[in-house]
Amino acid sequence: MKIGIVDADLLGRKKHRFPNLACEKISSYYKQEGHDTKLVLDYNELYEYDKVFISKVFTDTAIPAFLQESDAMHLGGTGFFFDKAPNLPEDIEHQMPDYHLYDQWIKNEVRKKQSLCKHKGKTFNEKYFMQQFKEYTDYSIGFLTRGCFRKCQFCVNQKYNQVFLHSPLKEFLDESRKKICLLDDNFLGIGFQERKRMLQELLDSGKRFKFKQGLDERLLDDEICKILFSSRYDGDITFAFDNIEDYDIIHDKLKIITKHKNRKSVKFYVLVGFRSTDAEDIENAFKRIELLFQYGCLPYIMRFQNKNETPWMQSKYRGLYITLARWCNQPSIVKKMSFRDFCEANQALHKNPNTLCSSMDAMLQFEKEYPRIAKRYFDIRF
């Protein structure tokens, strides 16, 4: 059989660069059964295949209207079914992913860029260009655990009441790949002994590893911090600071982190625009940012959105949310500039000096309405 596999996010999102693990497992399963599998890059070619699997992670990824579940066409993933997305069948779920599913697409992208550079008389820097594909080429990807017990209202993980073991590392570890990327929902939520054992396994692999989702810092303790911060972690160690109500507990955990952090870079996702999109929400964001700055941790603003709504976009403070994210989410900037400095720097680069740039405008309008909040937070520094 000819099996067509569509990563809908790759086709529908311009800058999407992360392999779809379900697609890779489906490909691997059908290859093992003796079928031909191929990553399909054009919806008009679907008719060429005996069976088609289409997977989508993001709800707002656009897809053609004619896609419909049938005997020959299977749709799956949170992008189609949100928190009701059915699991893959067990024997597919526990396949070693086909890490080569995207190879031909990557080759084509390289070829296209090469000829574009040639056409424009520019030098093609392949090493630099390949950076964007590193998750496809360098990492073994999988879930050591699945599930979460917290049931945060804004999160798609509502299916389970606990964290449970999912795949042993060897199930998805490709020794030829340099690094490991873990997609666990709440790894630290598994029992202490299991957590320690799996972290030790990761250390023993000798490979750099990272958890793609923010780790649950409310579950940190001295011992876990010691292991995490002494490991060859890949990139920033990332946690989440979603609720202002967790301020005190996060404060306590930051003290533990500081003991072990050394010079490692620590980042916290800061969720905004969920409960409200008003001045209180913005003040809460700054209050969390200020605490993180005090402990040398980087904030990363996550603007809430779900399959139906993007509340911050409808907010009166839309411009402020954008500016806040632009300031925080660029480490080289947030480390050097206060929020006010950042807006002033934008204004200095603005084409027409007689008008306000959008950042400056958003900041001044908010400051006029809420001078107390502006005075308290707009000049804080990392």
* Alpha carbon distance 225, 256 (integer Å): 8
- Select from 5, 10, 148, 360 the one that contacts ligand SF4 (CB under 6 A): 148
- In the complex with ligand SF4, the residue whose CB is nearer, 144 or 343, is 144
Q: Tell me: does residue 281 bind ligand SF4 (CB under 6 A).
A: no
74 strand-pairing partners: 53
Long-range pairs for 12-20 at CB < 8 Å and ≥24 separation?
12/56, 12/61, 12/62, 12/63, 13/58, 13/61, 17/132, 17/133, 17/135, 17/136, 18/135, 19/97, 19/99, 19/101, 19/102, 19/135, 19/136, 19/141, 20/55, 20/57, 20/77
Q: Which range in 43-51, 133-141, 149-157, 316-324 contacts ligand SF4 by CB under 6 A?
A: 149-157
Strands 164-165 and 145-146, by their bridges, are antiparallel
Those residues with Cβ within 8 angstroms of residue 131's Cβ, 6 or more apart along the chain or in another chain:
none
Q: Which range in 152-160, 224-232, 307-315, 318-326 contacts ligand SF4 by CB under 6 A?
A: 152-160
Is residue 169 within 8 A of residue 202, CB to CB? The reply is yes
Q: Where on the phi/psi map is residue 48: left (φ > 0), alpha (ψ -120 to 50), or beta? A: alpha
Instruction: Please say whether the dihedral angle defined by the alpha carbons of residues 22, 24, 30 and 32, taken in this order, is positive or negative.
Output: negative
CB of 173 to ligand SF4, least distance (A): 23
Q: Which range in 87-95, 107-115, 146-154, 367-375 contacts ligand SF4 by CB under 6 A?
A: 146-154
Q: Which range in 35-43, 86-94, 102-110, 145-153 contacts ligand SF4 by CB under 6 A?
A: 145-153
Q: Tell me: does residue 275 bind ligand SF4 (CB under 6 A).
A: no
- Select from 63, 67, 117, 152 the one that contacts ligand SF4 (CB under 6 A): 152
CB of 260 to ligand SF4, least distance (A): 22
- Select from 155, 333, 337, 380 the one that contacts ligand SF4 (CB under 6 A): 155
Is residue 118 within 8 A of residue 138, CB to CB? The reply is no
- Select from 28, 37, 157, 323 the one that contacts ligand SF4 (CB under 6 A): 157
How many angstroms separate the Cα of 197 from the Cα of each of 145, 165, 202, 203, 226?
13, 12, 9, 10, 14
CB of 189 to ligand SF4, least distance (A): 7
- In the complex with ligand SF4, the residue whose CB is nearer, 155 or 373, is 155
CB of 10 to ligand SF4, least distance (A): 24
- Select from 145, 186, 284, 347 the one that contacts ligand SF4 (CB under 6 A): 186
- Binding to ligand SF4 in span 204-263, by CB under 6 A: 216
- In the complex with ligand SF4, the residue whose CB is nearer, 159 or 264, is 159
| Residue ranges binding ligand SF4 (CB under 6 A) | 148, 150-152, 155, 157, 185-186, 216
